[in-house]
C-alpha cells in the first residue's frame, strides 16, 4: 500500500542548530513531493515541493529538501534553525493518478529553544 513515513515525531533543537527531518514513502511509480508546515495557531502552508528536475529543491525561509529516488526519501533540511521555526512539519506525497489527493506523514513536532 502507498504510505508516507516520518520517523521523527518530536524534535527539540537549540537555535542555530542544523535540522534534518526524514520522510520516506512506499511506492514504485511517479510521485510529487511536498513539505507543509503548521505554525502554532495557523493554517497549513507549503514549504516546498518537488515534481521533477533538480532533486535538491529550495523553499521558503531557508528550507531545502532532497529527493533521493533510490531511497524513496525526501528529507527536509535547514542549516541553522530559529526559534520561529517551532512548528509541526508534514511530509506529503501525491502518487500517480492521485489527482489532488495528498497522503500525509504523521508529522514532526519541532521545538526550537533559545
What is the smallest separation between the CB atom of 14 and other proteins, expressed in angstroms? 26
What is the smallest separation between the CB atom of 57 and other proteins, expressed in angstroms? 12
What is the smallest separation between the CB atom of 110 and other proteins, expressed in angstroms? 15
The Cα 16–Cα 45 span in angstroms is: 23
What is the smallest separation between the CB atom of 24 and other proteins, expressed in angstroms? 15
109 close to 10: Cβ distance less than 8 angstroms: yes
Nearer to other proteins, 43 or 69 (CB): 43
Nearer to other proteins, 5 or 73 (CB): 5
Side-chain half-sphere of 5: how many Cα atoms within 13 Å?
10
Nearer to other proteins, 49 or 77 (CB): 49
- Listed in sequence order, the residues at least 6 apart from 111 whose beta carbon sits closer than 8 Å to its beta carbon are 10, 11, 12, 13, 86
Nearer to other proteins, 29 or 114 (CB): 29
Site residues (CB under 8 A) for other proteins?
A: 30, 32, 34, 36, 42-46, 49, 51, 90, 92, 94, 96-107
**Would you mind telling me the total number of residues written for the chain in this entry?**
114
Q: How many C-beta neighbours within 10 Å does residue 78 have? A: 21
In the structure grid, which three cell numbers stand for residue 99, read together? 489527482
Amino acid at each position: 500500500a502507498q504510505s508516507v513515513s516520518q520517523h521523527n515525531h518530536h524534535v527539540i533543537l537549540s537555535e542555530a542548530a542544523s535540522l534534518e527531518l526524514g520522510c520516506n514513502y512506499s511506492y514504485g511509480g511517479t510521485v510529487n513531493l511536498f513539505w507543509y508546515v503548521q505554525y502554532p495557531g495557523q493554517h497549513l502552508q507549503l514549504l516546498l515541493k518537488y515534481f521533477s528536475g533538480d532533486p535538491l529543491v529550495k523553499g521558503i525561509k531557508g528550507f531545502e529538501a532532497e529527493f533521493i529516488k533510490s531511497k524513496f526519501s525526501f528529507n527536509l533540511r535547514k542549516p541553522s534553525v530559529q526559534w520561529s521555526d517551532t512548528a509541526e512539519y508534514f511530509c506529503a506525497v501525491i502518487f500517480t493518478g492521485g489527482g489532488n489527493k495528498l497522503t500525509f506523514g504523521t508529522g514532526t513536532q519541532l521545538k526550537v529553544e533559545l
